Chains A and B, each alone.
Chain A
Amino acid sequence: MKPKFVTRQVGNELILVPLSDNVAQMSELFTLNETGRFIWENINEKTTVEVMEGLMTEAFIIDRETAKKDIENFLKQLETAFQ
């Protein structure tokens, strides 16, 4: 999945530019805040939501419910890039 994006970190945030057939979809680029960037950096195709919740509650001062919401928001953003 990650090779389908061009990325650039700016401060604590991350810009993601989706590539479709190697063409950048400039109208669909989006930015991730610090939490989103953490998920992006730690996610892979085998990562479960539960594992990511655990990683997030260790890295940030948040409960599992907040972590789950952040993960769901992140996944929704990714979905829109490929619709």
Chain B
Amino acid sequence: MNSTNITIADFSINLLSESPISLEEGYLPFINEDNRDADVTIYCSSGIPSTPFENTDKLVFEAKNESQRFYSIFRSGSQLRFIIYNQQLKDTIQQVALLDESYSAWKVYSDPDCDGTLSPLKYPLGPIIMHYLTVKSDAVIIHASCIFDGVKGRIFTGFSGAGKSTMSKLWAAAGNQIINDDRIIIRKRGAAYSAYNTPMYYNDIPKKTSLDAIYLISHSPENRMRKLTGATAVSRVLAFCIQNNYTGYFIQNQLVFLSELCAHIPVYELGFVPDTTIVDYITANER
């Protein structure tokens, strides 16, 4: 049995397979020899089942746009069944995955690659598995960039085009560390909150910072910021969390987590001019 351990956001993941496992480049720095009990086990199996789902399965969620489906989720007895479609070959099944009711054991069926290896974390199943790491823990996964300035960790979130990547580049130009500029896992560890990068399509080492402020960003003719509190802060941050929102249970968990998070970590609405003045503006105006 081939075994590979990876650690994402301090979650230990054990991949097991009879066939050799191949991981995309972005996962390679997250491989380690961590021998602690895995938080999540992924059993990788060769070959897509000829019957990918049962007649009794109930469709609960579909990620799709006008032209194609990305993945479908079925409730299959006590398990969830994920049908992942190939994004180049429309409606061709790329993978089938089963997740047990404790959200800790996956079985992933994939056809082998040309070299006989299995790629269980091929996009988009890898990010889906990352999302399900968070649903049973004090954690959320959020579309955001994150910067560590040597003292504080700050998250910048917003709609597509709001300037998340621009913001991280401006902070990096001022000598600060980019934790990640797209997808961040926030965890409560003890009384504190931490932000972690996640594997991307490019090679980057695992990174972590304390979380000290959250910014909801947009472009603006001038730099301006205001602090948000209470339900407004919680609901605005929730809107940028990554989720499969087909069950109220997930939403309820996120609301509980975020209401505690926003009671401890300041949340600001930030309009910014995309130049380096924003770095000094933020550090001078945080309260």
Q: Which residues of A contact B (CB under 8 A)?
A: 6, 8, 10-15, 17, 19, 22-24, 26-27, 29-32
Contacts and interface: CB of A to CB of B under 8 A. Distances in A.
A24 B247 CA distance: 7
Given A10-B259, A17-B238, A32-B231, 6 more contacts: A8-B234, A15-B235, A17-B251, A22-B248, A26-B243, A31-B230
B285 interface: no
Contacts of B238: 15, 17, 26, 29
B276 interface: no
Say whether chain B's binding surface is mostly helix, strand, loop, or mixed. Answer: helix
A8 B255 contact: yes
A27 B239 contact: yes
A31 B231 contact: yes
Contact of B230 (A10, A17, A30): A10
Nearest to B255: A8
9 contacts: A6-B251, A6-B252, A8-B256, A13-B230, A22-B248, A24-B251, A31-B230, A31-B231, A31-B232
B245 interface: yes
Say whether chain A's binding surface is mostly helix, strand, loop, or mixed. Answer: strand
Interface string B113-144: 00000000000000000000000000000000
Contacts of A30: 235
Contact of B246 (A14, A17, A22, A32): A22
Interface string B73-86: 00000000000000
Interface in B244-278: 245-248, 250-252, 255-256, 259, 262
A23 B61 contact: yes
Nearest to A17: B251
Contact of A24 (B231, B245, B256, B262): B245
B232 A23 contact: no
A41 B201 CA distance: 47
A7 B231 CA distance: 11
Contacts of A8: 231, 234, 252, 255-256, 259
Contacts of B255: 6, 8, 15, 17
Of B230, B235, B238, B247, most buried by chain A (CB within 10 Å of CB) is B235
A19 B245 CA distance: 9
A15 B246 contact: no
